[in-house]
Amino acid sequence: MEQLLLPAPAKLNLWLHITGRRPDGYHELETVFQFLDHADELGFALRGDGQIRLNTEIDGVPHDSNLIVRAARLLQQQTGTALGADIWLHKVLPMGGGIGGGSSDAATTLLGLAHLWQLDWSEDRLAALGLTLGADVPVFVRGHAAFAQGVGEQLTPVAPQEPWYVVLVPQVSVSTAEIFSHPELTRDSLPLKMRPVPEGNSRNDCQPVVEQRYPEVRNALNSLGKYTEARMTGTGSCVFGAFPSKAEADRVLALLSETQTGFVAKGSNVSMLHRKLQSLLKKSSA
């Protein structure tokens, strides 16, 4: 059975400002998303009987609740296709790490099945559908580094530098809902007036609350902070720092490896997923 193999890359929030809270409880924010060349991998195979089957079990996540299955069934319902799919997942990205694992898997599912089922859906339609699954899904569907506003769905492409990153993975899973509902969370950062988006005077407004509640995250920030500016991504738990070369990033990770778990990855303004899909389109049109 021929499989379509696609990556579901990680993202970083290079910074994250929370500018308000809406009546429905969602938070208004400003952030910059950048992708990493570090990814889960999903495999897709066509089924003619309309069934959606995720053939990889994820601990603690029931089959029908998995974002991959939900994304596949939602696309199936919205398009009326009679086709189905077998799906496999090779999980690399940590859950509860703030690097977008579940949202990225959902976006790869939408784009992968649109390709497999030969749907004539635009990126705009897929991104709008993805938003109903989660606020971070649209940026993965669009696949370009972006300045984000609203709940994270209003995206403006940007082109920050693409350094090498050390990403530390504290062995805790941070609940996004817990952090966003915390009474001490900063919710009144002033919206930025400058364009293009400045790199200075930025921070992650979630970081103080997470550091307070999760000493493992605080320890990771302190460890990496000895070598470069260290910052948390999203609501954590992963923390990252930039380096000018892979060799330097590898050296620092090796120094930290006795007490910290992590990986080295290249920052990328075009996601691995979109680069792979573009190469598939070139092959099919050749």
20 annotated among ligand-binding-site residues: no
245 annotated among ligand-binding-site residues: no
143 annotated among ligand-binding-site residues: no
102 annotated among ligand-binding-site residues: yes
Report the alpha-carbon angle 233-240-157, nearest 5. 60
Rounded CA-CA distance 251/248 in Å is: 5
234 annotated among ligand-binding-site residues: no
- The answer to whether 223 and 260 are in contact (CB under 8 A) is yes
103 annotated among ligand-binding-site residues: yes
Q: What residues are annotated to the active site?
A: 11, 136
Return the bridge partners of 268, or none: 35
Write the CA distances from 273 to 32, 54, 165, 268, 276, integer angstroms. Answer: 19, 20, 19, 11, 5
- Sign of the torsion angle spanned by Cα atoms 217, 220, 224, 225: positive
95 annotated among ligand-binding-site residues: yes
160 annotated among ligand-binding-site residues: no
- The answer to whether 106 and 133 are in contact (CB under 8 A) is yes
Binding residues are 94-104
Binding residues for ATP are 94-104
